[in-house]
Chain A
């Protein structure tokens, strides 16, 4: 299996048509008696979806290459009574397909039963209880315990990797669908996970079964986001956070990342992209956090620091292209794969880390609280941020700057645990001092957001003129030319680490034309983060990104350097951007790591 993967790597869909033929030829087929005409490069599954016929799937994922291993999607070809895996079988003219035939239905059911036969079936003890695709299919097919027990096979008893700090892997729950292997290879270009061994011993694992924290993994959590079951999940910090909330000695401060307001609603039945900022704040206050702030405050701070750093670099022609540093998944990837280019990275910390460093210094002083009693929680779209907070570089306040990171999903679980009626909460506002938002910072949550926000500030500082909207879009590699003063700057915005590697290879070769490169590890940026609500597809992420962009448009102040709280922070505490104190609290260093 493994070697097959290696040789087929570049053969995306097994079908070679897309893009090369100007007008796609059409094919007509019949599915469950209904005629459907589709492009010739479609699969039976896609054709069925077009006419609203639902076929269950497990190894299939719309954003990844095809695998065809689970056979939960089989349908019957009525011409020869053969069963076909619909997710990998291309349509053919005149095909007659049944999804309803007894043969097809029984085969699908049998294939799910066999998966369950060596599955722990430990739903009560599983983080994906309620969001597990295997559980849902089992439920939909009305499979009962007796159906599974007649196969009662050997179950696996493999060690669970809980060394964290970002991800937990339980290979006993793995159904070998290969989605994590594909996302890590195709989208992230990391290949930290791979099929190993054969037959019953076959598992998905790291090299030498090492803990995920000891290999070249970027901690982006895309594997957890595509895993249909509970085999890869975030390391949960919920218990830790409840404990400090219950501790009267602790002053618990929470920050929420820009993207959360446009994604957490999905956990409570809102359409993807619905902006629920007021309810998010209300829920956090009800849960018992002492102060509820927005990471957008420090995103503005990041822009001030990073924007000025960029200005300095272009004036001194040094370390260009300038590469953004707000994504900790990207940072770890760069440390493993591009240690020779680390000087191109901005030294500005991510907004999360700036926020916590300021909270335990400036804010503690202002509020008259002993920083030793302040506990900083960050609600993030991201599993890599769990890792980032543990880095030794991030203790500049004299304490571990960020104490706990909850993913969007974890926060949703806490809200559900106490039974808050999220959808009907009365809107509330973020707390003062560190609660004002510019909209420039809101779009930090999508790709292109950091760049647009920073360039607004850069251009105004340098020329006094406002920047027009860039509308960089959310996907893959995007580029733009921006005129500032009498010079044009080449800007690139990239998401997905495999895409980033392409640009970084150019930088290494000396052939990059860019002055500024923004990198986000997750496709679509943080709205597509490894900690966001599940399941997530391109389509949903687009809606989330549009939701965030709509906030930016509706906000009146949209420039980071006009955020009054930020201006005050510099006046009272930091001095100038890039000053000594800013450098100490808001900038960081990187380290070389082995490629493997």
Chain B
């Protein structure tokens, strides 16, 4: 039952204080669940378990009901986002030129699924409908960099580059 931030009750209270001021704005009604989740995610960057527990008791819902809603919508995250966000284009042009294989290669390389984040918090993997760089298909973006004309075998080196950069910076 420990707090995710790993702190004692005093710092736990401090940790949850911003959430409490969010909750104060809403009546204790189920229909406010989604807006509360959105604001809480805006505040914390993701939806930590302790935050969800607090929301559950505020709205008198069971934690599993909230978990069900959070996992239903792609917009909600249960883990913090990775330092690098990879966006794989799944638009038509990318699709016909092998975008799906590229996505698979990234998934295999990082051992996560689309929507997931690696345990070391290096990468978050997302798919997007179209990046608007169809001429370069298949294409991915890592943070603000565009990588085009990809093949699955180029994936490991590109990812390694971002890993290395992170390490070097630390």
Name A's B-contacting residues (CB within 8 A).
1-3, 5-7, 185, 190-198, 205-208, 215-216, 594-596
Contacts and interface: CB of A to CB of B under 8 A. Distances in A.
Contact of A190 (B56, B62, B69): B62
Interface in B4-57: 30-31, 33-34, 49, 52-53, 56-57
Nearest to B53: A596
Given A1-B72, A2-B72, A196-B72, A216 B63 contact: yes
Contact of B64 (A197, A206, A595): A206
A216 B62 contact: yes
Given A191-B62, A207-B62, A208-B49, A196 B1 contact: no
Given A594-B1, A596-B56, A3 B69 contact: yes
B152 to A, nearest CB: 21
Contacts of B33: 6
Contacts of A7: 30-31
B64 A192 contact: yes
A207 B31 contact: no
A206 B64 CA distance: 5
A196 B68 contact: yes
Main secondary structure of the interface of B (DSSP, over half): helix
A6 B34 CA distance: 12
A194 B68 contact: yes
Determine which residue in A192, A196, A594 has the highest number of CB atoms from chain B within 10 A of its CB, and name it: A196
B33 to A, nearest CB: 7
A504 to B, nearest CB: 14
Given A7-B30, A194-B64, A196-B68, 14 more contacts: A1-B72, A2-B65, A2-B72, A3-B72, A5-B68, A6-B30, A196-B71, A198-B71, A198-B72, A205-B67, A208-B67, A594-B1, A596-B57, A596-B63
A216 B68 CA distance: 15
B62 A2 contact: no
B93 interface: no
B65 A191 contact: yes
28 contacts: A2-B65, A2-B68, A2-B69, A2-B72, A3-B34, A3-B72, A5-B68, A190-B62, A191-B61, A191-B62, A192-B62, A193-B64, A194-B62, A194-B67, A195-B72, A196-B68, A196-B71, A196-B72, A197-B71, A206-B64, A206-B67, A207-B63, A207-B64, A207-B66, A207-B67, A208-B63, A208-B78, A215-B64
Determine which residue in B1, B52, B63 has the highest number of CB atoms from chain A within 10 A of its CB, and name it: B63
Contact of A197 (B1, B30, B66, B72): B72
Interface of B: 1, 30-31, 33-34, 49, 52-53, 56-57, 61-69, 71-72, 78
* The 6 residue pairs across chains A and B that have the minimum distance between CB atoms: A2-B68, A191-B62, A194-B68, A207-B63, A596-B63, A207-B64
A596 B66 CA distance: 11
B103 to A, nearest CB: 16
Nearest to A190: B62
Contacts of B78: 208
Nearest to A4: B72
Contacts of B65: 2, 6, 185, 191, 194
Contacts of B69: 2-3, 6
B9 to A, nearest CB: 14
Determine which residue in A191, A194, A195, A595 has the highest number of CB atoms from chain B within 10 A of its CB, and name it: A194
Contact of B57 (A2, A207, A595): A595
A46 B135 CA distance: 59
Contacts of A5: 68
A1 B139 CA distance: 33
A191 B67 CA distance: 11
A133 B22 CA distance: 47
Nearest to B62: A191
B11 to A, nearest CB: 19
Nearest to B52: A207
Contacts of A198: 71-72
Contacts of A1: 72
A595 B1 CA distance: 11
Contacts of B67: 194, 196, 205-208
B169 to A, nearest CB: 32
Contacts of B30: 6-7
Contacts of A193: 64
A207 B1 CA distance: 13
Determine which residue in A206, A207, A208 has the highest number of CB atoms from chain B within 10 A of its CB, and name it: A207
A2 B64 CA distance: 10
A215 B1 CA distance: 10
Contacts of B68: 2, 5, 194-196
A6 B49 CA distance: 20
Contacts of A6: 30, 33, 61, 65, 69
Contacts of A185: 65
Contact of A215 (B34, B63, B72): B63
A373 B67 CA distance: 47
Contacts of A191: 61-62, 64-65
Contacts of A215: 63-64
A206 B33 CA distance: 18
Nearest to A198: B72
B21 to A, nearest CB: 21
Contacts of B57: 595-596
Contacts of A196: 67-68, 71-72
Nearest to B74: A198
Nearest to A209: B67
A190 B62 CA distance: 7
Contacts of B63: 207-208, 215-216, 596
A215 B57 CA distance: 14
A3 B31 CA distance: 10
A258 B86 CA distance: 62
B132 to A, nearest CB: 27
Contacts of B34: 3
A510 B56 CA distance: 25
A190 B57 CA distance: 13
B69 to A, nearest CB: 5
Nearest to A336: B62
A413 to B, nearest CB: 31
A7 B34 CA distance: 12
Nearest to A191: B62
A196 B63 CA distance: 12
Nearest to B31: A7
Nearest to A216: B62
A1 B72 CA distance: 8
A471 B30 CA distance: 40
Contacts of B66: 207
